[in-house]
């Protein structure tokens, strides 16, 4: 089975800080699957490393609806890059016939069910990241790890 996985979860150094979020549970769960790694933030044109970002004013659905923005800690708007990366992930998933996606928890792109609140104080709120919100709108199952 083909599964799209956040690249950082399988050890790719693509996180904002230049590191990864390697998750052995993800690696073990998908060892018999055809893994397709994706980093929506890099796909949207952001470099690694890059300034930390959070969704300000809502969650990924609000970003897609034009009601919230994705901002760096110093206030630079990265909303367009996040939407571009989410669209890239959606296009990849649809072209590959992927039915299941495992994404990084709490990420402003990939978070599923929980994200940071936009205060840059590590406060968590209910909601989805931009990529997760777009995928769910297209009926794609997203699991967060």
Going from the C-alpha of 81 to that of each of 22, 41, 98, the distances in angstroms are: 24, 7, 23
The pLDDT, as a whole number, for residue 99 is 85
pTM value is 0.96
113 within 8 A of 144, measured Cβ to Cβ:
yes
Residue 122: pLDDT band (50, 70, 90) is very high
What's residue 121's pLDDT? 96
Q: Over the stretch 41-87, which tens digit does the pLDDT of each residue have?
A: 999 999 999 999 999 999 999 999 999 999 999 999 999 999 999 99
Per-residue pLDDT tens over the stretch 8-45: 999 999 999 999 999 999 999 999 999 999 999 999 99
The pairing of strands 100-103 and 141-144 is parallel
> Which runs of consecutive H residues, i.e. helices, occur in the chain?
24-29, 40-43, 60-64, 79-96, 130-137
């Amino acid at each position: 089975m083909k599964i799209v996985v956040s690249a950082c979860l399988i050890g790719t150094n693509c996180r904002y800080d230049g590191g990864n979020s390697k998750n052995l549970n993800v690696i073990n769960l998908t060892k018999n699957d055809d893994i397709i790694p994706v980093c929506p933030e890099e796909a949207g044109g952001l470099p690694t490393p890059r300034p930390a970002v959070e969704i300000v004013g809502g969650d990924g659905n609000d970003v897609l609806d034009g009601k919230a923005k994705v901002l760096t800690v110093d206030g630079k708007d990265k909303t367009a890059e996040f939407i571009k990366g989410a669209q890239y992930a959606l296009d990849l998933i649809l072209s590959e016939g992927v039915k299941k996606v495992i994404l990084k928890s709490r990420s402003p792109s990939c978070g599923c069910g929980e994200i940071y609140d936009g205060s840059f104080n590590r406060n968590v709120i209910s909601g989805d990241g931009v990529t997760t919100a777009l995928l769910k709108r297209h009926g794609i199952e997203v699991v967060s790890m």
